[in-house]
Amino acid sequence: MSNRVNPDAEQIIMSNAIDGLEGVVAAETVLSEVDGAAGRLIIRGFPVEALAGRHSYEEVLRLLWDGFFEDLPHDLGPALGQARVDVFREVAALDEGLRSLSPTEAARALTARIADGDGLDVALRLVAAPAVFVPAVVRAKAGAAPVAPDPRSSHAADVLRMIRGEAAPAALAGALDAYLVTVSDHGLNASTFAARVVASTHAGLASAVLAGISALKGPLHGGAPGPVIEMLDAIGEADNAAAWLEAALDRGDRLMGFGHRIYRVRDPRADALKGVIRTLAREGAALPGRLALAEAVENAALEVLRARKPGRSLDVNVELYTALLLEALEFPPDAFTGVFAMGRAGGWIAHAREQVIGGRLIRPQSIYVGPRPLEAA
Ligand code: ACO
For 2, 3, 10, 14, 334, the CA distances from 372, given in Å and listed in that order, are: 8, 8, 14, 20, 46
5 has a pLDDT exceeding 90:
no
Report the separation in Å between the CA atom of 101 and the middle of ligand 1, taken as the mean of its atom positions. Answer: 27
E-state strands within 48-169? none
**Closest residue by CA, ligand 1 atom 21:** 312
Specify whether the CB–CB gap between 341 and 137 falls below 8 A.
no
Specify whether the CB–CB gap between 317 and 257 falls below 8 A.
yes
C-alpha–C-alpha distance, residues 70 and 91, integer Å: 30
For the sheet containing 40-43, what is the strand order?
Answer: 32-35, 40-43, 46-47
Sequence-ordered list of residues with C-beta below 8 angstroms from that of 96, at least 6 positions apart, any chain: none
Report the separation in Å between the CA atom of 207 and the middle of ligand 1, taken as the mean of its atom positions. Answer: 28
In 3D space, the residue among 248, 232, 190, 237 whose CA is nearest the CA of residue 214 turns out to be 190
Q: Which of 19, 244, 260 gets mutated to test ligand 1 (max ligand atoms within 8 A of its CB)? A: 260
For this structure, is 260 an active site residue? yes
For this structure, is 33 an active site residue? no
CATH number of this structure's domain 50-222+338-358, picked from the four choices 3.40.605.10, 1.10.580.10, 1.20.58.100, 3.40.50.1820:
1.10.580.10
**From the centroid of its chain, how far is CA 60?**
16
**Span of 46-55, 236-245, 271-280, 353-362 with lowest mean pLDDT:** 271-280
12 has a pLDDT exceeding 60:
no
Q: What is the pLDDT of residues 206-240, one digit of tens each?
A: 999 999 999 999 999 999 999 999 999 999 999 99
Sequence-ordered list of residues with C-beta below 8 angstroms from that of 353, at least 6 positions apart, any chain: 65, 68, 69, 118, 123, 199, 205
Buried b (16+ CB within 10 A) or exposed e, 26-58: ebebebbebeeeebebbbbebebbebbbebbbb
Residues of each domain in the chain carrying CATH 1.10.580.10: 50-222+338-358
C-alpha–C-alpha distance, residues 370 and 267, integer Å: 40
Q: Chain-wide mean pLDDT for the chain?
A: 93
- State whether CATH 2.60.40.10 applies to domain 225-328: no
Report the separation in Å between the CA atom of 254 and the middle of ligand 1, taken as the mean of its atom positions. Answer: 7
C-alpha–C-alpha distance, residues 6 and 10, integer Å: 8
Specify whether the CB–CB gap between 199 and 205 falls below 8 A.
yes
Half-sphere exposure of 212 (CA within 13 A, CB side): 34
pTM here is 0.94
Ligand 1 interacting residues, C-beta cut-off 6 A: 20, 189, 220-222, 224, 254-261, 309, 312, 314, 317-319
**Closest residue by CA, ligand 1 atom 2:** 254
C-alpha–C-alpha distance, residues 33 and 185, integer Å: 9
Grade residue 2 by pLDDT with cuts at 50, 70 and 90: very low
C-alpha–C-alpha distance, residues 174 and 342, integer Å: 15
9 has a pLDDT exceeding 70:
no
Residues of each domain in the chain carrying CATH 1.10.230.10: 225-328
262 has a pLDDT exceeding 50:
yes
137 has a pLDDT exceeding 80:
yes
Atom of ligand 1 nearest to the CA of 221: 50
Q: Which of 251, 317, 321, 340 gets mutated to test ligand 1 (max ligand atoms within 8 A of its CB)? A: 317
C-alpha–C-alpha distance, residues 171 and 6, integer Å: 61
**Closest residue by CA, ligand 1 atom 20:** 312
- Angle of the 170-182 helix axis to the 318-328 helix axis, nearest 10: 160
Report the separation in Å between the CA atom of 255 and the middle of ligand 1, taken as the mean of its atom positions. Answer: 8
C-alpha–C-alpha distance, residues 58 and 55, integer Å: 8
